[in-house]
Amino acid sequence: MEIIIYIYNGMTMLDAIGPYEVLKNLKGTTIKFVAKEKGEITADSGFVHLNAKYDIDEIEKADILLIPGSNISFIQEMKDKKVLNWIRRIDETTQKTVSVCTGSIILAATGLLNGKKATSHWKPIELLSDFGAIPVRERIVEQGKFITAAGVSAGIDMAIYLANEIQGEKEAKASQLMIEYDPKPMFSSGNFLTAEAEIITLAEKKMESKAKQNLSLWNMLLNVRTLMKLNK
Protein backbone atom coordinates (compact mmCIF):
# COMPACT_ATOMS: atom_id res chain seq x y z
CA MET A 1 0.00 0.00 0.00
CA GLU A 2 1.48 3.31 -1.11
CA ILE A 3 0.57 6.49 0.75
CA ILE A 4 1.49 9.82 -0.80
CA ILE A 5 1.74 12.88 1.44
CA TYR A 6 1.99 16.16 -0.46
CA ILE A 7 4.28 18.65 1.27
CA TYR A 8 4.86 22.33 0.50
CA ASN A 9 6.50 25.45 1.87
CA GLY A 10 4.50 27.00 4.69
CA MET A 11 2.72 23.77 5.59
CA THR A 12 1.83 22.92 9.18
CA MET A 13 4.14 20.09 10.13
CA LEU A 14 1.83 18.15 12.47
CA ASP A 15 -0.85 17.95 9.74
CA ALA A 16 1.47 15.58 7.87
CA ILE A 17 3.46 13.99 10.71
CA GLY A 18 0.43 13.07 12.86
CA PRO A 19 -1.22 10.84 10.23
CA TYR A 20 2.16 9.57 8.99
CA GLU A 21 2.99 8.30 12.49
CA VAL A 22 -0.24 6.27 12.63
CA LEU A 23 -0.12 4.98 9.04
CA LYS A 24 3.56 3.97 9.01
CA ASN A 25 2.78 1.27 11.58
CA LEU A 26 0.26 -0.51 9.34
CA LYS A 27 1.35 -3.65 7.55
CA GLY A 28 2.94 -3.37 4.11
CA THR A 29 2.81 0.42 4.01
CA THR A 30 5.17 2.71 2.13
CA ILE A 31 4.84 6.45 2.67
CA LYS A 32 6.32 8.99 0.28
CA PHE A 33 6.59 12.70 1.09
CA VAL A 34 6.24 14.43 -2.26
CA ALA A 35 6.78 18.10 -3.11
CA LYS A 36 6.56 20.26 -6.23
CA GLU A 37 10.32 19.93 -6.45
CA LYS A 38 12.77 17.70 -4.61
CA GLY A 39 14.66 19.31 -1.76
CA GLU A 40 13.94 21.40 1.26
CA ILE A 41 10.45 22.32 2.46
CA THR A 42 10.15 24.87 5.28
CA ALA A 43 7.22 24.74 7.71
CA ASP A 44 4.91 27.67 8.54
CA SER A 45 7.03 28.55 11.60
CA GLY A 46 10.31 28.70 9.68
CA PHE A 47 11.78 26.55 12.47
CA VAL A 48 11.70 23.11 10.84
CA HIS A 49 12.59 21.75 7.43
CA LEU A 50 11.74 18.53 5.62
CA ASN A 51 13.73 17.09 2.76
CA ALA A 52 11.50 15.90 -0.10
CA LYS A 53 12.95 12.91 -1.92
CA TYR A 54 10.23 12.84 -4.61
CA ASP A 55 8.70 15.47 -6.83
CA ILE A 56 5.15 15.36 -8.14
CA ASP A 57 6.26 14.53 -11.69
CA GLU A 58 7.55 11.18 -10.40
CA ILE A 59 4.27 10.18 -8.80
CA GLU A 60 1.50 8.86 -11.04
CA LYS A 61 -0.66 6.96 -8.59
CA ALA A 62 -1.37 6.34 -4.91
CA ASP A 63 -3.52 4.10 -2.78
CA ILE A 64 -3.99 7.01 -0.39
CA LEU A 65 -3.33 10.68 -1.10
CA LEU A 66 -3.06 13.02 1.90
CA ILE A 67 -3.09 16.82 1.63
CA PRO A 68 -1.95 18.66 4.81
CA GLY A 69 -2.91 22.22 5.64
CA SER A 70 -1.16 25.46 6.53
CA ASN A 71 -1.80 28.80 8.15
CA ILE A 72 -1.82 30.87 4.96
CA SER A 73 0.22 29.01 2.34
CA PHE A 74 -2.70 26.85 1.24
CA ILE A 75 -3.66 29.89 -0.84
CA GLN A 76 -0.34 29.60 -2.71
CA GLU A 77 -1.09 25.96 -3.52
CA MET A 78 -4.63 26.79 -4.68
CA LYS A 79 -3.17 29.28 -7.18
CA ASP A 80 -0.95 26.63 -8.73
CA LYS A 81 -2.69 24.85 -11.61
CA LYS A 82 0.07 22.26 -11.83
CA VAL A 83 -0.56 21.23 -8.23
CA LEU A 84 -4.35 21.17 -8.64
CA ASN A 85 -4.09 19.10 -11.83
CA TRP A 86 -1.68 16.69 -10.17
CA ILE A 87 -4.08 16.22 -7.24
CA ARG A 88 -6.98 15.56 -9.66
CA ARG A 89 -4.86 13.03 -11.58
CA ILE A 90 -3.64 11.15 -8.50
CA ASP A 91 -7.15 11.17 -7.02
CA GLU A 92 -8.33 9.14 -10.04
CA THR A 93 -6.05 6.31 -8.86
CA THR A 94 -6.70 6.39 -5.09
CA GLN A 95 -8.79 4.25 -2.77
CA LYS A 96 -9.03 7.24 -0.41
CA THR A 97 -8.18 10.90 -0.80
CA VAL A 98 -7.85 12.63 2.56
CA SER A 99 -6.92 15.99 4.03
CA VAL A 100 -6.04 17.61 7.34
CA CYS A 101 -6.85 21.20 8.35
CA THR A 102 -6.85 23.63 5.39
CA GLY A 103 -5.73 20.80 3.13
CA SER A 104 -9.47 20.39 2.51
CA ILE A 105 -9.61 23.89 1.01
CA ILE A 106 -6.86 22.95 -1.46
CA LEU A 107 -8.83 19.80 -2.20
CA ALA A 108 -12.02 21.85 -2.68
CA ALA A 109 -10.18 24.13 -5.12
CA THR A 110 -9.64 21.13 -7.39
CA GLY A 111 -13.42 20.70 -7.60
CA LEU A 112 -13.26 17.21 -6.11
CA LEU A 113 -15.41 18.18 -3.10
CA ASN A 114 -18.18 19.79 -5.20
CA GLY A 115 -21.49 19.34 -3.40
CA LYS A 116 -19.81 17.25 -0.70
CA LYS A 117 -19.66 17.90 3.03
CA ALA A 118 -16.17 18.61 4.33
CA THR A 119 -14.42 19.93 7.41
CA SER A 120 -11.33 22.08 8.00
CA HIS A 121 -9.62 24.16 10.67
CA TRP A 122 -12.28 26.08 12.66
CA LYS A 123 -11.04 29.51 11.54
CA PRO A 124 -11.04 29.36 7.71
CA ILE A 125 -13.64 26.57 7.39
CA GLU A 126 -16.28 28.79 5.72
CA LEU A 127 -13.96 29.20 2.71
CA LEU A 128 -14.93 25.65 1.73
CA SER A 129 -18.31 26.93 0.52
CA ASP A 130 -16.59 29.35 -1.88
CA PHE A 131 -15.19 26.28 -3.63
CA GLY A 132 -18.37 24.20 -3.81
CA ALA A 133 -18.01 22.12 -0.65
CA ILE A 134 -20.41 22.17 2.31
CA PRO A 135 -18.57 23.12 5.54
CA VAL A 136 -19.37 20.95 8.56
CA ARG A 137 -17.85 21.57 12.00
CA GLU A 138 -16.97 17.97 12.85
CA ARG A 139 -13.66 16.32 13.68
CA ILE A 140 -13.76 13.90 10.74
CA VAL A 141 -16.09 14.03 7.70
CA GLU A 142 -16.33 11.12 5.28
CA GLN A 143 -18.01 11.44 1.90
CA GLY A 144 -17.49 8.52 -0.44
CA LYS A 145 -13.76 8.07 -0.74
CA PHE A 146 -12.98 11.54 0.67
CA ILE A 147 -12.14 11.99 4.33
CA THR A 148 -11.43 15.49 5.64
CA ALA A 149 -10.18 16.22 9.16
CA ALA A 150 -10.49 19.39 11.26
CA GLY A 151 -7.42 21.44 12.30
CA VAL A 152 -3.87 20.12 12.74
CA SER A 153 -4.12 17.47 15.51
CA ALA A 154 -7.35 16.06 14.03
CA GLY A 155 -5.18 14.29 11.47
CA ILE A 156 -4.21 11.73 14.12
CA ASP A 157 -7.85 10.80 14.78
CA MET A 158 -8.51 10.76 11.03
CA ALA A 159 -5.57 8.42 10.42
CA ILE A 160 -6.87 5.92 13.01
CA TYR A 161 -10.29 6.08 11.37
CA LEU A 162 -8.66 5.54 7.97
CA ALA A 163 -6.45 2.72 9.31
CA ASN A 164 -9.58 0.92 10.52
CA GLU A 165 -11.20 1.27 7.08
CA ILE A 166 -8.26 0.06 5.04
CA GLN A 167 -6.71 -2.59 7.31
CA GLY A 168 -9.31 -3.30 9.99
CA GLU A 169 -9.67 -2.82 13.70
CA LYS A 170 -6.67 -4.82 14.94
CA GLU A 171 -4.13 -2.95 12.81
CA ALA A 172 -5.68 0.40 13.74
CA LYS A 173 -5.69 -0.42 17.46
CA ALA A 174 -2.11 -1.74 17.40
CA SER A 175 -0.92 1.44 15.73
CA GLN A 176 -2.77 3.52 18.32
CA LEU A 177 -1.04 1.56 21.08
CA MET A 178 2.38 1.87 19.40
CA ILE A 179 2.09 5.66 19.52
CA GLU A 180 0.50 5.42 23.00
CA TYR A 181 -2.38 7.60 21.83
CA ASP A 182 -4.36 7.84 25.04
CA PRO A 183 -4.82 11.61 24.95
CA LYS A 184 -5.16 13.48 28.24
CA PRO A 185 -4.86 17.22 27.60
CA MET A 186 -4.92 19.18 30.87
CA PHE A 187 -7.41 21.66 29.39
CA SER A 188 -10.52 21.08 27.25
CA SER A 189 -9.75 24.07 25.08
CA GLY A 190 -9.32 22.40 21.70
CA ASN A 191 -12.86 22.77 20.41
CA PHE A 192 -13.99 26.05 18.84
CA LEU A 193 -17.63 25.41 19.72
CA THR A 194 -16.91 25.18 23.45
CA ALA A 195 -13.73 27.24 23.96
CA GLU A 196 -13.86 30.45 26.02
CA ALA A 197 -14.42 33.62 23.95
CA GLU A 198 -11.22 35.18 25.30
CA ILE A 199 -9.16 32.17 24.21
CA ILE A 200 -10.72 32.19 20.73
CA THR A 201 -9.83 35.88 20.37
CA LEU A 202 -6.24 35.25 21.46
CA ALA A 203 -5.85 32.29 19.09
CA GLU A 204 -7.31 34.27 16.19
CA LYS A 205 -4.99 37.18 16.88
CA LYS A 206 -1.97 34.88 16.90
CA MET A 207 -2.96 33.20 13.64
CA GLU A 208 -3.75 36.45 11.85
CA SER A 209 -0.52 38.05 12.97
CA LYS A 210 1.42 35.10 11.52
CA ALA A 211 -0.65 35.00 8.33
CA LYS A 212 -0.17 38.72 7.67
CA GLN A 213 3.57 38.17 7.43
CA ASN A 214 2.75 37.13 3.87
CA LEU A 215 0.69 40.16 2.87
CA SER A 216 -0.01 39.19 -0.73
CA LEU A 217 -1.49 35.85 0.34
CA TRP A 218 -3.36 37.54 3.18
CA ASN A 219 -4.98 40.00 0.77
CA MET A 220 -5.91 37.17 -1.53
CA LEU A 221 -7.47 35.30 1.39
CA LEU A 222 -9.63 38.35 2.09
CA ASN A 223 -10.82 38.31 -1.50
CA VAL A 224 -11.19 34.66 -2.20
CA ARG A 225 -13.25 35.23 -5.35
CA THR A 226 -10.18 36.78 -7.00
CA LEU A 227 -8.47 33.53 -6.24
CA MET A 228 -11.29 31.54 -7.82
CA LYS A 229 -10.96 33.54 -11.04
CA LEU A 230 -7.25 32.77 -11.14
CA ASN A 231 -8.15 29.10 -11.22
CA LYS A 232 -10.54 29.37 -14.16
Q: Which residues lie near its own copies (CB under 8 A)? A: 12-14, 17-18, 20-21, 24-25, 30-33, 40, 45, 47-51, 53, 101, 121-122, 139, 150-154, 156-157, 160-161, 164, 169-192, 195-196, 198-200, 202-203, 206-207
Alpha carbon 36 to chain centroid, angstroms: 16
| Helix/strand/coil for 216 | helix
Strands (E), 19-144: 30-35, 39-42, 49-52, 54-55, 64-67, 96-100, 117-118, 134-135, 140-143
Contacts of 222 (CB under 8 A, 6+ apart): none
**116 or 121, CB closer to its own copies?**
121
Look at residues 217, 229, 232, 226 and name the one whose alpha carbon lies nearest to residue 102: 217
Catalytic residue list contains 101: yes
**71 or 110, CB closer to its own copies?**
71
Alpha carbon 48 to chain centroid, angstroms: 18
DSSP 18: H
* Active-site option among 52, 59, 64, 101: 101
Q: Which residues are catalytic?
A: 101
